[in-house]
Amino acid sequence: MASTIRKIDILLLGSGGREHALLDKLADSPHAGALYVAPGNGGMLGSATCVGIDPESPIEVVAWALAHDIGLVVIGPEAPLMAGVADACRSAHIPTFGPNLEAARIEGSKKFAKQVMGRAGVPTAAWRSFTDEKGCLDYVARLDGPCVVKADGLAAGKGVIVAKDAEEAAEGVRACFSGAFGEAGDSVLIEEALSGPECSLLVLTDGRTVVPLATSQDHKRAYEGDTGPNTGGMGAYSPVPSVASAEFDEMIEIMERIVVQLAADGTPYSGCLYGGFMLTDEGPKVLEFNARFGDPETQAVLPRMHADLVEVMLACDRGVLDRGMISWDDDWAVSVVLASAGYPGPYEVGKPITGIKAAEALEGVTIYHAGTALDADGTLVTSGGRVLAVTAVAPTFEAARARAYEGAGLIDFDGKSFRTDIGMKAVPDRSGL
């Protein structure tokens, strides 16, 4: 007798390119029933129903999920995690992908992350934290050379100032304490400045077993040559060829130690744990942790992954994750973000978008929507800073890169801006990195 596959209805929280990539992978699963997304975006409507609930309200999410017999809630961004949505869902016995609030503090508080790293003996930049502006300013005035100023809490990727001297550091400290980053800046960390190439390693974990995903590299600065302000991320590629296998092993061990430490501390972690690393001459050191998939790393990593994502996410929640559940393509992926002119500063919205179908027709190209919406006439228009991610997968890095840019060239909207050097660091040797 043929076995029947149990289908479950899924609610995904978020609206970015990361969530679109997660949605595509969830939709591929034989276990996927109806797919719902809150709030979603203009590109997700083909495969999911957008739901008008507040994704950061535990009460609304739980009530809606129970009313619609949801079998899996997937939490994309950090804000619902920090609002306790995962805890509320689990209390209501709804299977949930994403860590509980206490464990998600590994992203929500940089000081908490540093303390966990200290207990776990994980290499990271030396640091000190301050809650008073004067003490902090006195400290940076005494430093000789560069340092990094970080607002302690969530600041949408903006609360980090890499300062080349004491003067820039003092400016950063004043910005943090002036409330420029909201409550995130009430407590400020001053860190040793590290140098080296960066690499993101995302792992999936059920609190015990850790399954690494493929390496990827983000491009955080707004403009070519890693200049301009930090953004959410302007593009990514996967894998990162400059990562030596010993470094990869070290990064995995670091992630395992953090998972073990969080469990030992009584705050077990399940979901995706994102490690942001700098590959220093002394080995990989942690820059930050995120309690979720990276954006735009996910748009470069997931298309190369072979897995039943519904099964994997349920396994993370149930504590039965297994390494054998995931395998990888040898192909390369390059993802180029198309943003609105002005991003990460102020930008205009409502610009009609053309060329998506032509770009999607290219071999190996997928368009992930982020800041898009349908206007009253049903026209696809821009609605955010990062508008689309054009991902190409191909057998060679060069082909993937060329295809992603070909796709990016076919799409148009007023103010379209993007970096033309995504992936240029993916060279086998590290000279010029």
Residue 240 exposure: Cα atoms within 13 Å on the Cβ side: 28
Q: Using the rule CB under 6 A, is 125 a contact of ligand AMP?
A: yes
Q: Facing residues of 161 across strands?
A: 149
With contact defined as beta carbons under 8 Å apart, do 216 and 239 qualify? Answer: yes
118: tokens are 């200290």
With contact defined as beta carbons under 8 Å apart, do 311 and 29 qualify? Answer: yes
Q: Using the rule CB under 6 A, is 295 a contact of ligand GLY?
A: yes
Whole-number Å distance between alpha carbons of 270 and 122: 19
- Nearer to ligand AMP among residue 274 and residue 418 (C-beta): 274
Tell me the three state secondary structure of residue 348.
coil
Of these, 76, 153, 233, 239, which contacts ligand GLY (CB under 6 A)? 233
373: tokens are 């919406």
Give the contact letters, 265-284, x = binds to ligand AMP (CB under 6 A), - = no: -----------x--------
Q: Using the rule CB under 6 A, is 292 a contact of ligand AMP?
A: no
Q: Facing residues of 380 across strands?
A: 374
Whole-number Å distance between alpha carbons of 195 and 188: 21
Reference 404, options 340, 372, 373, 359; nearest CA is 359
Q: Using the rule CB under 6 A, is 288 a contact of ligand AMP?
A: yes
Tell me the window of 26-34, 191-199, 201-209, 241-249 that interacts with ligand AMP (CB under 6 A).
191-199
Reference 73, options 30, 113, 132, 14; nearest CA is 14
Of these, 45, 63, 193, 424, which contacts ligand AMP (CB under 6 A)? 193
Q: Count residues binding ligand GLY (CB under 6 A).
A: 7
Tell me the three state secondary structure of residue 233.
coil
Q: Using the rule CB under 6 A, is 191 a contact of ligand AMP?
A: yes
Tell me the window of 90-98, 189-197, 319-327, 415-423 that interacts with ligand AMP (CB under 6 A).
189-197
The option from ligand AMP, ligand GLY, none interacting with 98 (CB < 5 to 8 A, set by class) reads none
Reference 316, options 95, 94, 64; nearest CA is 95
The option from ligand AMP, ligand GLY, none interacting with 344 (CB < 5 to 8 A, set by class) reads none
Of these, 148, 202, 325, 373, which contacts ligand AMP (CB under 6 A)? 148
Q: What is the DSSP letter of 325?
A: G
- Nearer to ligand AMP among residue 160 and residue 321 (C-beta): 160
DSSP string, 109-123: -HHHHHHHHHHHT--
Start-to-end C-alpha separation, the chain: 58
- Nearer to ligand GLY among residue 157 and residue 197 (C-beta): 157
With contact defined as beta carbons under 8 Å apart, do 311 and 305 qualify? Answer: no
Q: Using the rule CB under 6 A, is 194 a contact of ligand AMP?
A: yes
We find the least distance from the C-beta atom of residue 238 to ligand GLY, in angstroms, to be 12
- Nearer to ligand GLY among residue 200 and residue 270 (C-beta): 200
* Residue at token pair 């300062």: 163
Reference 7, options 323, 255, 311; nearest CA is 311
- Nearer to ligand GLY among residue 58 and residue 76 (C-beta): 76
- Nearer to ligand GLY among residue 233 and residue 239 (C-beta): 233
Q: How far is CA 14 from CA 114, 371, 427, in A?
A: 27, 11, 34
We find the least distance from the C-beta atom of residue 105 to ligand GLY, in angstroms, to be 16
Of these, 58, 294, 407, 423, which contacts ligand GLY (CB under 6 A)? 294
Give the contact letters, 132-161, x = binds to ligand GLY (CB under 6 A), - = no: -------------------------x----
Residue 290 exposure: Cα atoms within 13 Å on the Cβ side: 22
- Nearer to ligand AMP among residue 194 and residue 394 (C-beta): 194
- Nearer to ligand AMP among residue 39 and residue 196 (C-beta): 196
Question: Which residues of this protein are in contact with ligand AMP, per CB under 6 A?
Answer: 125, 148, 157, 160, 162, 191-194, 198, 220, 230, 276, 287-288
Question: Which residues of this protein are in contact with ligand GLY, per CB under 6 A?
Answer: 157, 218, 233, 290, 294-295, 297
